[in-house]
Amino acid sequence: MNLEAFIAGRQARWAELEARTSTLAQSRLRGLRADDVERFAILYRRAASDLAIARRDYPDQPITEYLNSLCGRAHVLLNRGSPPRIHNALSFFATGAPRAFRANAGYFLASLACLLSGTVAGWLAYLLRPDLRGVLVPDSLFAEMAQGSPGIGVPQPFLAAPSIFLHNIEVAVVVFVLGLCLGLPTALLIFLQGWSLGTLGAAVHAGGYDYAFWSLIAAHGVLELSVIVTAGAAGLRLGDALLRPGLRTRADALAEAGRETVGLLVATVLLLVIAGTLEAFVSPSSLPGGAKIAIGLGVGTCFYAWLLLAGRSPRARPGLVLDATPPAGPGAPTALPLGA
């Protein structure tokens, strides 16, 4: 077909699609009428087919470049997921996040192993070199322990709570993102978390303040460390995708790892707000130590019950299971032999 005839017959449609594209780019899809969307989709499909013709017949003409750009802009507008909704977020909390956690359970165990090995190493380090305790643990804390008043001075819990949870969220996000550096900094940061816990634990054990110390950190620590370890698991997943992409390209493996861990990360990191509030209001309070430990264990139980139990598909009832093996017997259909 002649180029001018090609253009003349279609020009009006392209102009209409261009006008609709720019109005659609500014407005929300929800405000559109159904026939507007339908008309837009029709115009887009016809422009795409025009583009295919133009690519074949007029590859070097400006009209091909124009159609390519027009179809690109319309394609981006048409191909989008549903907008974020409260309902979707809630259903992700109820089912998506626990499923993502269980799918990455191996990474969680690896991350937990980093934390525990750090704890053991920190404990051993204190036993071997007690003079090093000041490196990770401030001396003032030991002084307070010795006085039997292990409440970390938190004069303004309303200022302390956001400080604490924002800091912890920062740590969790950094732990996750550093997984992009092949996961090594993630493992190191988790290890160091364990190290400082181990050193502290060994120091207070040497001083004989075990109960005071563990009751001080139990209320918030269980949830806090669990979330940090989960963020570490997501980070290790990223590093693993880069190191062992399998049959996919590294870019594809990384994108898949990101897609499958980002929801889990965000869902668990939001729980740090609870942990930070506990740390600012409950941990330094005058509640008996046993109550603080009970709170910590309760919160931890809820956390792992959510991640391990929620969102499992209902167990299939025996009557509904399809048997893959064909029934044997005289009347049973038999497979045709190959080559018959």
Partner 1 sequence: MSAGYDTQRVTTADNVGISFRVAGLATRLTAAIFDGLILACILVVTTVLIVAIADAAGANGNGSSAIEIFSLAGYLLAAAWLLIIVLYFTVAQAVSGGKTPGKTVMGLRAIRVDGGTASLGAYFLRSAALIVDGLLGVGPVLMFFHPQSRRLGDLLAGTVVVRERTPVTLLAATAPSPVYLRSIDPGPAIDGLGNLGEHELLAVRTFLSRPGLQPDQRIELAGRLAGRLLDRMELPAGAPERMWPPELLLERLYLQLAPRFETAGPYPVYRLDLRAPQGARPPSVT
Q: What is the rounded distance in angstroms from the CA atom of residue 181 to the CA atom of residue 250? A: 13
By C-beta, is 15 or 90 nearer to partner 1?
A: 15
Angle at 207 between CA 203 and CA 213, to 5 degrees: 70
Query: Is 109 near partner 1 (CB under 8 A)?
Result: no
Query: Is 180 near partner 1 (CB under 8 A)?
Result: yes
Stretch binding partner 1 (CB under 8 A), from 75-83, 197-205, 300-308, 317-325? 75-83
Query: Is 274 near partner 1 (CB under 8 A)?
Result: no
By C-beta, is 263 or 296 nearer to partner 1?
A: 263
Q: Judge contact between 230 and 264, C-beta under 8 A.
A: yes
First to last CA, the chain: 52
Tokens of 260: 């499958």
Q: Judge contact between 76 and 286, C-beta under 8 A.
A: no
Tokens of 237: 């997943």
Query: Is 188 near partner 1 (CB under 8 A)?
Result: no
Query: Is 48 near partner 1 (CB under 8 A)?
Result: yes
Q: What is the rounded distance in angstroms from the CA atom of residue 245 to the CA atom of residue 239? A: 10
Tokens of 37: 């969307």
Tokens of 79: 């191909």
Tokens of 3: 């180029």
Query: Is 43 near partner 1 (CB under 8 A)?
Result: no
- Minimum CB separation from partner 1 for residue 45, in Å? 6
Q: Which of residues 36, 121, 141, 163 is near partner 1 by CB under 8 A?
A: 163
Query: Is 236 near partner 1 (CB under 8 A)?
Result: no
Query: Is 69 near partner 1 (CB under 8 A)?
Result: yes
Query: Is 32 near partner 1 (CB under 8 A)?
Result: no
C-alpha 105 chain-centroid distance: 13
Stretch binding partner 1 (CB under 8 A), from 54-62, 195-203, 214-222, 331-339? 54-62
Which x/- pattern over 11-30 shows residues binding partner 1 (rule: CB under 8 A)? x--xx--x------x-----
Which amino acid belongs to residue 112? L
Q: What is the rounded distance in angstroms from the CA atom of residue 116 to the CA atom of residue 119? A: 5
Q: What is the rounded distance in angstroms from the CA atom of residue 241 to the CA atom of residue 186? A: 14
CA distances from 147 to 202, 212, 213, 245, 287 (A): 18, 11, 12, 54, 18
Q: Which of 140, 149, 123 is nearest to 216 (CA)?
A: 149
Burial of 274 by CB count in 10 Å (0-12 exposed, 13-18 middle, 19+ buried)?
Answer: middle
Q: Which of residues 174, 192, 274, 287 is near partner 1 by CB under 8 A?
A: 174
Stretch binding partner 1 (CB under 8 A), from 30-38, 103-111, 125-133, 161-169? 161-169
Binding to partner 1, residues 121-160 (CB under 8 A): 153-156, 159-160
- In the 8-state DSSP scheme, what is residue 327? P
- Minimum CB separation from partner 1 for residue 300, in Å? 24
By C-beta, is 8 or 109 nearer to partner 1?
A: 8
Which x/- pattern over 240-269 shows residues binding partner 1 (rule: CB under 8 A)? ----------xx--xx-xxx--xx--x---
List contacts with partner 1 (CB under 8 A): 2-4, 7, 11, 14-15, 18, 25, 45, 48-49, 51-52, 55, 57-58, 61-63, 65-73, 75-77, 79-81, 84, 153-156, 159-160, 162-164, 166-167, 169-170, 173-174, 176-178, 180-181, 238, 250-251, 254-255, 257-259, 262-263, 266
